Amino acid sequence: MERRPGVPRLLREINDRAALELLLASGPLTRGQIGQLTGLSKVTASQTLARLEERGLVEVVGEQAGNRGPNAALYGVIPSCAYVAGLDVGPDRVSAAIADINGHIVAEVTASPDGADDPVSLVHSAVVKACRGGKVALSRLRGVVIGTPGVVDPRTGDVRFSFDLPQWHEGIHEALARDLRRDVTIENDVNLAAIAERARGAAREADDFVLVWVGRGIGLAVVLGGRLHRGRSGSAGEIGYLPVPGVPLADDVRAIPGRLPSLRGGLQSLVSSEAVGELAREHGFAGATAADCVTAAVAAGAAGEPLLDEVAARLALGVASVCVVLDPGLVVLAGEVCRAGGEGLATRVEEAVARICPIPPQVIPSKVDGNPVLRGAVLAALDQAREEIFTA
């Protein structure tokens, strides 16, 4: 017996997805508004909403008064139909957030590793604690995304190496998924910051931009055509090893089992929290962190300008090198050091780059509130969860 393709079923799936995506993006809508915005007839829109209600994905959340006749029912996505977890894992702290399918954060926790270095235990503890805080069962998580410093292999999903987290290595990805009993995604922390910046910050809706992160080291995220560019091995953006004039070349950069790659030489020896801290002391500014020093320089007005000028000149070497190759048009400065410098540092970097780059980019500071890595992890997890719901 000949089998014919299920065209009506496919159309129903397309209609259901279109309506659900619209409700997630635009909030509560009436049946008529959904039909108008999706091009569905009133009958088809009603059938679509009935199916989504039956699946426990949407519900009537109110009414909209009309000029004539009865009020129209407003439909919205049920927030509790799915939850996600996003994590930011660093050497000194682990932060986790739980969000409902609409992206509303229902719980956020931050804890110190307290000497524990087992990735599985650290992540498990943080996720469980956050779930308890949000009164969400672990089994209801539909997406888990973890941000870590280091190189993540896009083919296997494993951390290839991380200078700050030596215990994160090949096999951790599978161990985490097995422990949490669901798919887990590990992503470079600077890449996640770029996701947050494009969705909620300075690079909103920008298709081409780079994000430069200055913290303990220096990192770069590249977004081209609206998509993260990770490179074949996941190493795209490791600009700390970029050769620059005036400093030795980086050496011993290979990731060899039992030995971490060196952080000496290259751009990272000019622009990192340690390098900026040393430079700040030379200019008479002190603080617990490099960011504190830069904050003090900004507050000092004219007295702090020489330090900001020097930091900008160093940053410009890396930014210009990236821009002559990629021509992104937009550069976002992020990380604690760049946040401390704010608009003043960004303006100085833009001016310094313009002097050495034939097509200078716009340079602006990050505008993501809170922890951008954690926000990016939640957004990435939401994309996964929604895709799973759309295709279920």
Q: Same domain for 207 and 342?
A: yes
- Angle at which helix 273-282 crosses helix 290-299, to 10 degrees, equals 40
Q: Same domain for 218 and 305?
A: yes
C-alpha to C-alpha distances, 331 to 223, 274, 320, 357, nearest whole angstrom = 10, 23, 10, 13
CATH number at residue 71: 1.10.10.10
pTM: 0.91
Q: Establish if 150 belongs to a structural domain.
A: yes
Q: Establish if 250 belongs to a structural domain.
A: yes
Contact 58, 49 (CB under 8 A): yes
* pLDDT tens-digit series, residues 234-282: 999 999 989 988 787 776 655 544 444 555 678 999 998 999 999 999 9
Q: Same domain for 329 and 226?
A: yes
Which domain-ending residue is among 32, 59, 77?
77
76 CB contacts (<8 Å, ≥6 apart)?
A: 23, 27, 28, 29, 58, 59, 61
Q: Which domain holds residue 95?
A: 83-192+372-391
Output the DSSP codes for 37-57: HHT--HHHHHHHHHHHHHTTS
Q: Establish if 27 belongs to a structural domain.
A: yes
* pLDDT tens-digit series, residues 53-90: 999 999 999 888 766 667 889 999 999 999 999 999 99
Contact 366, 197 (CB under 8 A): yes
Mean pLDDT of all residues in the chain?
90
* pLDDT tens-digit series, residues 160-192: 888 788 888 889 999 999 999 999 999 999 999
CATH number at residue 270: 3.30.420.40
C-alpha to C-alpha distances, 204 to 82, 201, 363, nearest whole angstrom = 26, 6, 14
